[in-house]
């Protein structure tokens, strides 16, 4: 039995829109694909596509059920403390170990840390969207690295990628040993077929593919683009809440893991591994997406950014943007500027001027961002490196100091930030790209002296 669903045949089963009472749920990509999901960040999920495929009471029985092979995938070291330990057990048609040697393949516009192509640069920089790629470009071929930090061989730091793709991965499957991938679609829904089952990520949703987990990307809506944060280090987790209490920000129950689905078709499939920055490939005569059942907590997730519970000031000033943190890891944060009310009295309401030890890459999923009147467009991005001074542009400042401070809802856009502890070094293609905006500094020109003692 092949439980793969064909996205070209219309809205896909299994169980579109179904939400069971067992803690599982579903999330519809607006107007597109819906799958059955299992809810809860960090949970010990379990799923079987065929009843009886998941062993009960042990992980590695003498004979795994239904003739399957048991295989553990560990995302953290075996002895990692229990609270941060991540692993899953997969019950698959063939073990991953059965493969011929990998060979080095080209990697197009994909780059990895250490980033030493261009001298680190304190300038504030902004880019237009990536140009459309040549026909036949799939998700992996369409990855384009802007820059990053750390060292992939030390499992420290991160990379900022964008992608534009116009072709589904058919018989190509990708796995990244170097880090987890936080995928932020900007246009076009991504259908991610993973070892753990399918996820449909539409713009406004994000998908998290854990380190080493294999997946392919189909494009049910055609040409697609977005952003990727590749986190080389400790996996992203939900931030502590402190005095906020037991609820708020991104709630664990809104993170959706897939349910098991397997591809048993026998056909040539190329498996691509990203390993220490390079791409390698091997060939199988079957798909590695052949997991019939699984359990564990090293699993992919889907999260809808519009479910983010925004916390803000109801008196004056506004909190530091860390209050918008969705997921955090040592040295890397993912922050969303979701629709929210501004009600601060006697308060400069846009993000304040600041200089910051952290480095901020911002992207825009839709609409506009409240600190920039123009030039920051969906699919584009800006980089404010360590201690680069920034803040609202001249036009936004003038409007904010003159505004009547009635309650105001900011709901005309969805922006996000990849924030990192270490400065970001650019790739040559980012520093010299034709889509780099020249003269970004001009947005802060004309912020004139108003001081009249």
Q: Going by DSSP bridges, is the β-strand pair 266-275/172-176 parallel, antiparallel, or unpaired?
A: parallel
Smallest separation, CB 155 to Fe ion (Å): 27
Q: Is 354 annotated as a binding residue?
A: yes
74's tokens: 């560990």
Question: Measured in whole angstroms, how far is the alpha carbon of residue 301 from the centre of its chain?
Answer: 10
Residue nearest to Fe ion (CB): 360
Q: Which residue ranges make up the site for Fe ion (CB under 5 A)?
A: 360
Tokens of 15: 């169980």
Strand-pair category, 45-48 with 215-218: unpaired
Residue 257 to residue 42: CA distance in whole angstroms: 10
Q: How far apart are CA 151 and CA 159, in angstroms?
A: 10
Q: Residue 5's closest CA among 49, 63, 47, 45?
A: 49
CA atoms within 13 A on the CB side of 390: 24
Distance (Å, rounded) from C-alpha 198 to C-alpha 38?
12
Q: What is the closest distance, in whole angstroms, from the C-beta atom of residue 420 to Fe ion in the complex? A: 12
Question: Between 215 and 337, whose beta carbon lies closer to Fe ion?
Answer: 337
Q: Is 99 a catalytic residue?
A: no
| Helix (H/G/I), strand (E/B), else coil: 153 | helix
CB 47 within 8 A of CB 259: yes
Q: Is 360 within any annotated ligand binding site? A: yes
CB of 390 to Fe ion, least distance (A): 6
**CB of 98 or CB of 389, closer to Fe ion:** 389
CB of 368 vs Fe ion, minimal distance in Å: 17
Rounded to the nearest 5 degrees, what angle is found at the Cα of 182, between the Cα atoms of 330 and 126?
90
In the numeric block, the tokens 């840390």 are attached to 113
Q: Supply the minimum distance, in Å, between the C-beta of residue 239 and Fe ion.
A: 18
Phi, psi of 151 (to 5 degrees): -150, 120
Show Cβ contacts of residue 402 under 8 Å, excluding neighbours closer than 6 positions. none
Distance CA 292, CA 91 (A): 6
At its nearest, how many Å lie between Fe ion and the CB of residue 354? 6
Shortest distance, position 1 Cβ to Fe ion, whole Å: 51
Tokens of 128: 């237009």
Owner of token pair 């952003």: 227
Q: How far is 381 from 440, CA to CA, in rounded Å?
A: 12
For 152-245, where are the E strands, in sequence order?
A: 156-165, 172-176, 180-187, 190-194, 197-201, 205-209, 215-218, 224-231
Q: Which is nearer to Fe ion, 230 or 360 (CB)?
A: 360
Q: Is residue 435 marked as binding?
A: no
8 Å CB contact between 8 and 22 = no
What is the token pair recorded at 325? 């943190």
Which residue is catalytic, options 161, 295, 318, 384? Answer: 318
In the annotated binding site for homogentisate, the residues are 369, 390
In the annotated binding site for Fe cation, the residues are 354, 360, 390
Known catalytic residues are: 318
In the annotated binding site, the residues are 354, 360, 369, 390
């Amino acid at each position: 039995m092949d439980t793969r669903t064909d996205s070209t045949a219309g809205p896909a089963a299994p169980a579109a829109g179904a939400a069971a009472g067992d803690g599982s749920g579903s999330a519809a990509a607006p107007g597109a694909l819906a799958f059955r999901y299992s809810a809860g960040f960090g949970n010990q999920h379990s799923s079987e596509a065929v009843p009886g495929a998941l062993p009960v009471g042990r992980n590695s029985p003498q004979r795994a059920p239904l003739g399957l092979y048991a295989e553990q995938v560990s995302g953290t070291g075996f002895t990692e403390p229990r609270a941060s330990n991540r692993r899953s057990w997969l019950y698959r048609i063939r073990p991953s170990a059965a493969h011929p040697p990998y060979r080095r393949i080209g990697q197009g516009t994909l780059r990895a840390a250490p980033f030493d192509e261009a001298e680190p640069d304190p300038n504030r920089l902004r880019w237009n969207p990536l140009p459309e790629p040549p026909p036949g470009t799939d998700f992996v071929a369409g990855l384009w690295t802007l820059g990053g930090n750390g060292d992939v061989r030390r499992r420290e730091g991160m990379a900022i990628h964008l992608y534009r793709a116009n072709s589904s991965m058919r018989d190509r499957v990708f796995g990244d040993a170097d880090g987890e991938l936080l995928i932020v679609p900007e246009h076009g829904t991504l259908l991610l077929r993973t070892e753990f089952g399918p996820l449909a990520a539409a713009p406004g949703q994000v998908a998290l593919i854990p380190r080493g987990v294999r997946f392919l990307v189909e494009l049910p809506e055609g040409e697609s683009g977005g952003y990727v944060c590749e986190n080389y280090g400790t996996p992203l987790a939900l931030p502590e809440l402190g005095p906020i209490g037991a609820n708020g920000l991104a709630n664990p129950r809104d993170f959706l893991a897939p349910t098991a689905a397997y591809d048993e078709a026998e056909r040539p499939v190329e498996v691509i591994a990203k390993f220490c920055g390079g791409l390698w490939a091997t060939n199988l005569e079957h798909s590695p997406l052949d997991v019939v059942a699984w359990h564990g907590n090293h699993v992919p997730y889907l999260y809808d950014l519009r479910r983010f519970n925004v916390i803000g000031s109801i008196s004056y000033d506004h909190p530091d943007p860390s209050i918008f943190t969705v997921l955090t890891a040592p040295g890397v944060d993912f922050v969303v500027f979701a629709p929210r009310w501004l009600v601060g009295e006697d308060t400069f309401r846009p993000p304040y001027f600041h200089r910051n030890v952290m480095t901020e890459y911002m992207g825009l999923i839709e609409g506009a961002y409240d600190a920039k009147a123009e030039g920051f467009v969906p699919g584009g991005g800006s980089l404010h490196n360590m201690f680069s001074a920034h803040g609202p542009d001249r036009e936004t400042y003038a409007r904010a100091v003159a505004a009547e401070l009635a309650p105001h809802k900011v709901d005309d856009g969805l922006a996000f930030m990849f924030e990192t502890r270490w400065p970001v070094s650019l790739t040559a293609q980012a520093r010299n790209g034709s889509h780099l905006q020249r003269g970004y500094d001009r947005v802060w020109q004309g912020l004139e002296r108003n001081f009249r003692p």
